[in-house]
Amino acid sequence: MKCLTDTTEERIKEAAKTVFLEKGFDGTTTRDIASAAGINSALMNYYFRSKEKLFQSIFNDVCTLMFEGMLELINQPISLRDKISKLMDHQFQMMMQNPNLTIFIMNELRLNPERLYGTLGMAKQVPESIFHQQIEDAIAQGIITPIDSDHILTMIIANIQFLFVSKPMTMLAQGLDEAGFNAFATRHMEYVKDMICEYLFKPESVT
């Protein structure tokens, strides 16, 4: 699949990403990574100094993957309604492709809060975004229910992300297979979109 820059370093990172995401930091051995990458296990320490350093590198990449698209969208000059809809679509597609991205990140942050400092830059950008200003303006104009942008973002993210955080549980409780879950998730998204939009844009403006 990936043809560009097929260096050994990249091969190790790809393998490490796969294994770390599947087993977590504590559940992964350096030999797991080495065998997944098809290399001698000493080679990992040649390129990255240690398991911890390699993990940090992967973790940064994964956090970027998680946040960069969202941050871009948040700062785009489009209407609030559009923005909210696109934010949800973007996250949904991201999670359909990487179903355990969020639980991996959240759990590693919980186990080792120092990793937060790596994501500090991205996290801090959210409260100071165009989105935030748009919300305040819309409230001032009486277009949407008065509510802080942090709460709106939390609503958007929570309703999508938790769907995937709890995916195994949901599949069991409802007796779904992979396809069944995807159908459920897709349907749920529509409900959530309606719910959030109807809540925000409550006093419906003139047609």
Partner DNA sequence: AATCGTTTTGATCAATTGATTAAATTTTTT
Partner DNA sequence: AAAAAATTTAATCAATTGATCAAAACGATT
- Which of a copy of itself, DNA, none interacts with 196 (beta carbon under 5 to 8 A by kind)? a copy of itself
Residue 122 and residue 189: Cα distance in Å, rounded? 26
* Binding-site size, DNA (CB under 7 A): 16
Interface residues toward a copy of itself, by CB under 8 A: 23-24, 26-27, 100, 103, 106-107, 109-111, 113, 116, 119-120, 123-124, 126-127, 147, 150-151, 154-155, 157-159, 161-163, 165-166, 168-170, 172-174, 184, 187-188, 191-192, 194-196, 198-199, 202
- Which of a copy of itself, DNA, none interacts with 31 (beta carbon under 5 to 8 A by kind)? DNA
Q: Site residues for DNA, window 40-59 (CB under 7 A)?
A: 40-43, 45-46, 49-52
Rule CB under 7 A: is residue 29 a binding residue for DNA? yes
- List 30, 35, 60, 75, residue binding DNA (CB under 7 A): 30
Per the CB < 8 A criterion, the answer to whether 156 and 94 are in contact is no
Rule CB under 7 A: is residue 126 a binding residue for DNA? no
Per the CB < 8 A criterion, the answer to whether 41 and 30 are in contact is yes
Q: How far is CA 126 from CA 27, 81, 166, in A?
A: 32, 18, 25
- Tell me which stretch binds DNA (CB under 7 A): 22-30, 158-166, 176-184, 192-200: 22-30
Residue 44 and residue 9: Cα distance in Å, rounded? 8
Contacts with DNA, residue ranges (CB under 7 A): 8, 28-31, 39-43, 45-46, 49-52
